[in-house]
Amino acid sequence: MSDEGLIFDVQRFSVDDGPGIRTTVFFKGCPLRCQWCHNPESMRPRPEVFFYADRCVEQGACLSACPQDALIRGNTRVDRDACDGCGVCDDSCPFGALKVSGRYVSVDALLEEILCDRSFYASSGGGVTLSGGEPTLQLDFVIALALACRQAGVKVGLQTCGLFSWSRMQPHLDLFEFIHFDLKVIARDRHREFCGTDNGSILANARNLVEARVPVEFRMPIIPAHTDDEPNLTAVATLLNELGIDRIRLLRYHSMGEAKLSRIGRQAAPTALLSRADSSLQRATAVLAGAGLQVGV
């Protein structure tokens, strides 16, 4: 088991879909490349620098501070190929224009953070949720952390895109109080187009979890022009009906990820998705409910 993992955020008292007050740990690194990702900084499995252009006053202290000579003047600021995410620039900028996303932590150090809120978990029935990115990309660390939490009396939930090794995950499923499992696009060619990879293993793992009687909740982000068309919604309903699952939770699209893209050196294509989010959600709810599913939002 690994005793060090890479995370990019810990949010205390975040109201999660799991029971009670929870702390959510966000892991860095994801095998998918969903076009609508609201945490694009979670994709790369290494620390990377956010550049907030509106905070920069061109003082230039960061340029001489960077040991990799990875900082340049201008709106891009960071040479992404040269930057190793060391964080020296973060310390050198008094205006907060440069911030490192991603830090390495040990199981013991992260557990100490989590246990600061033990009294709230006990009083509310809550615990910790492991999210991402994709937590199972760092499966050894996730298992070690989950085991340490359980030994300390803290319940653990897992949120996953479903792309993981079943043979490695199966022996440890009893560590998790619940698993939130995202379903996005059922047709394989469209899943590759929108999410960057095949979904064969994802669909197989969905079946495996249900057959193993794991407490899994299926969730679906409703993304206008991507996941909300009737053939895809019908395919999701068909899959869940086949599995004997009668409910699904829908997640409304929001545009948080678009603002982050330029800050980590990626181009954000202009979209009109947000303006259609509510109507897409209403239509998806109607289609799935009409197929016999209980729909939560």
Q: Are 263 and 50 in contact (CB under 8 A)?
A: yes
Residue identified by tokens 């509510």 is 278
pLDDT of residue 280: 93
How many helices and strands (H and E) does the chain possess?
11, 11
Q: Are 22 and 129 in contact (CB under 8 A)?
A: yes
Residue identified by tokens 């006053």 is 57
List pLDDT tens digits, range 50-89: 898 889 888 888 888 899 988 888 766 788 889 988 889 9
Q: Are 49 and 82 in contact (CB under 8 A)?
A: no
3 state SS of 73: coil
pLDDT of residue 77: 79
DSSP 226: T
Residue identified by tokens 């394989």 is 188
pLDDT of residue 270: 53
pLDDT of residue 14: 72
3 state SS of 16: coil
Q: How far apart are CA 41 and CA 50, in angstroms?
A: 9
Q: How far apart are CA 297 and CA 249, in angstroms?
A: 5
DSSP 71: B
Whole-angstrom CA distances from 117 to 71, 124, 157, 176 are 39, 11, 16, 19
List pLDDT tens digits, range 173-195: 999 999 999 999 999 999 999 99
pLDDT of residue 15: 67
Q: How far apart are CA 103 and CA 46, in angstroms?
A: 8
pLDDT of residue 264: 85
Enumerate residues 6+ apart whose C-beta is below 8 A from 238: 291
Q: Which of 108, 104, 96 is nearest to 52 (CA)?
A: 96
Averages of pLDDT over runs of 10 residues in the chain (297 residues) are 86 78 95 92 92 87 88 80 89 90 96 95 94 96 98 97 97 97 97 96 98 97 95 97 97 84 75 84 96 94
Set out the domains of the chain in order of their start, with CATH numbers: 4-45+104-296 (3.20.20.70), 48-101 (3.30.70.20)
Q: How many CB atoms lie within 10 A of CB 62?
A: 23
Region at 65 (left for phi over 0; alpha for psi -120 to 50; beta for the rest): alpha
pLDDT of residue 159: 97
pLDDT of residue 214: 95
b/e sequence 259-283, b meaning 16+ C-beta within 10 Å = ebebbbbeeeeebebeebbeebbeb
Q: Could you tell me which residues are beta bridge partners of residue 181?
A: 160, 218
